[in-house]
Structure 1
Amino acid sequence: MDFIFMLTRNDRTVQDAADHLAVAQSLGVGHIGFKDIGLPFDRLHALNRMIRDGGAVSYLEVVSEDRESEVASARAAVEIGVDVLLGGTRAEEVLPVLAGSGIRYMPFPGRVTGHPSVLNGPVEEIVASAARLAGLEGVHGLDLLAWRFAGEVPPMIARVCAAAGKPVIVAGSIESADRIVAAASAGAAGFTIGTAALDGAFKGAGPGLETQLRAIQTAVAAIGHGVGGRRER
């Protein structure tokens, strides 16, 4: 199961992202990402270069709500050269932008609104959205805001994973080992953590980013999937 460390707080890339990146790299975290807002383009470009130079898989997650910003973020992902584009809700408009880039694309299923982003129900609508998106050529998986949903989360994850038939990343509000286990048990391929680790809020771990990341890595290893590997060069 892949642990994706997001250099973000409340859906924005943090100003001191490079400092946190250095800590993650020292621990061998192999999947690292950032959001499309919070830092100017040139700093996101440099951040991506540092992530990839360190051997990790790089992720850009789109949380902009309007069409023009989402398409612009997809273009930025191509120019920056990230490995994976997460999020966004306009797959049909983003896919032509990504064509030929080699970027793996995992959009949000369901109706996503607000900032920080929230996933709106009902479950049947989310599942139908997941099936439709996963069926599009060029969509490699889904980015599911599971614990941003006001309902029974683990069963919803399981239904989305079954409907998609492609890898599902669980994003948003993962702050305990119990939630990691629940996501894995429901069939998720990975998960993201940003705010909880940066704020020292991952349950059962002491303060400090290094301590938090080690606790998350331990939680992943404990479920028998192993901490996510590093990028193939």
Structure 2
Amino acid sequence: MHHSNLIVMLTYQDFTVQNAYQIFEECKDTAAQYWGFKDKGLPEIEMKELFNYMKSCGKTTVLEVVEYDEAKSLEGAELAKACGADILMGTTYFDSVNTFCLANHITYLPFAGEVVGRPSILKGDISQIVEQAQKLSERGVSGFDLLGYRHEETPEALIEAFVEANDLPVCVAGSIDSYDKLDFIKRVNPWAFTIGSAFFDHKFDGSFSEQIDKVVQYISQEDALPS
């Protein structure tokens, strides 16, 4: 059985942390395969260095871009290419971004629904968000970046309905900060989920690397209790 993948985000409150390289260095031998950060917080040269190092350690790399207009979203895609990111998460969907990612072999997971602000908030009702995703599926996107727990009204109902309605990979991103939420993720079983700020706030107890391994182990067990 497939278990949801943890994407470790070296971000706090939607910005990449200054010591992201150091944290990855300390945690590179943990069980997490997927590693990423946001497009804001580090100079581009440092982002390139970090992604190169992650890839040399055999990791799959993720750049999440929080942008809502076409020009800035396309800049984010160009940054993903320049940094050698395997996956671009985020941006409002635009054909130009999708075309760019397809041409450059970048896995593109645009935001599902209407996303605003930073830290981001997800708006729209469940049926609208699901319907929009089905239309985007036909345009060749690789999957979706669903800010499920950032939804204004019914986060868990939205996540469950969205994952059930989509054949493409869904990453539930943002605000996963408890074992209760991990239990829900285990039940719904999306392709992936992100954790960033919660690791910095020690929501899963222990050092950064200990928390990563705890979460990976917990999500992969059929029945588990936090130690």
Q: TM-score, normalised by structure 2?
A: 0.91
In 2, the alpha carbon distance for the partners of 1:31 and 1:11 equals 17
Which residue, 98, 102, 109 being the options, matches 1:99?
102
Cα contact 2:31–2:213 (8 A) shared by 1:
no
CA RMSD across the alignment: 1.6
SS of 1:26 mapped into structure 2 = coil
Of 168-177 and 57-66, the range deviating more from structure 2 = 57-66
Q: Does 1:57 align with 2:60?
A: yes
Is the contact between residue 157 and residue 187 of structure 1 (CA under 8 Å) also seen in structure 2?
Answer: no
The offset of 1:107, in angstroms, is 0.7
Asked whether the 8 Å contact 1:109–1:133 carries over to 2, the reply is: no
Counterpart among 90, 100, 103 of residue 87 in structure 1: 90
2:218 alignment partner in structure 1? 219
2:21 paired residue among 15, 18, 23: 18
Partner of 1:176: 178
The equivalent residue for 2:49 is: 46
**Structure 1 runs, 4 residues or longer, greater than 6 Å off:** none
Name the SS of the counterpart of 1:165 in structure 2. coil
Deviations 1:6-44 (A, max 9, x none): 011111111100011112212132110011111111111
The more displaced of 10-19 and 63-72 is 63-72
Letter of the aligned partner of 2:118 in structure 1? H
Offset at residue 64 of structure 1 (A): 2.4
Q: List aligned pairs for 1:170-209, cutoff 5 A.
A: 170-202=172-204, 205-206=205-206, 208-209=207-208
C-alpha distance in 2, partners of 1:24/1:147? 26
Report Cα offsets for 1:111-142 as digits up to 9, x if no partner: 000001110121121111221222212x1111
Q: Verify: 1:130 aligned to 2:133, yes or no.
A: yes
- Contact 1:184/1:190 (8 A) holds in 2: no
Code of the aligned partner of 1:45: K
Query: What is the one-letter code of the residue matched to 1:39?
Result: L
Unpaired segments of 5 or more residues in structure 1? 225-233
Aligned to 1:120: 123
Q: Any idea what the Cα deviations from partners look like across 1:136-160, whole Å, max 9, x if unmatched?
A: 12x1111100100122323211221
Contact 1:109/1:126, CA 8 A, preserved across alignment: yes
Identical aligned residues as a percent: 33
Counterparts of 1:51 and 1:81, CA distance in 2: 10
Q: Which among 8, 11, 22 is matched to residue 5 of structure 1?
A: 8
For 2:102 and 2:6, the matched residues in 1 are separated by 27
